[in-house]
Chain A
Amino acid sequence: MTESQPPGREAARAVSPGRALLAVLVGWLVPGAGHAMLGRLRRAALFFVLILGSFGLGLAHDGRLALYNDKERFLTGLQLLANVGIGPADAIARRNVYGEVAYAIPTESDPRYPARIDTFRKRQRSAVSAYGTAYLWTAGLMNLLLLLDVWDIAMRRKD
Chain B
Amino acid sequence: MRSHFGHLVIYSGIVAVFFAVLTRRDRREQLKFGGLVWLGMAGGVLLLAYLMLPFPR
- A interface residues (Cβ-Cβ under 8 A, vs B): 9, 43, 46-47, 50-51, 53-54, 57, 61, 127-128, 131, 134-135, 138, 142, 145-146, 149, 159
Contacts and interface: CB of A to CB of B under 8 A. Distances in A.
Contacts of A145: 22
B21 interface: yes
Which applies to chain B's interface (DSSP): helix, strand, loop or mixed?
helix
A128 to B, nearest CB: 6
Interface of B: 1-2, 7, 10-11, 14-15, 17-18, 21-22, 25
Contacts of B1: 61, 128
Contacts of B11: 131, 134-135, 138
17 contacts: A43-B21, A47-B18, A50-B17, A50-B18, A51-B18, A54-B14, A57-B10, A61-B1, A128-B1, A131-B7, A131-B11, A138-B11, A138-B15, A142-B18, A145-B22, A149-B22, A159-B25
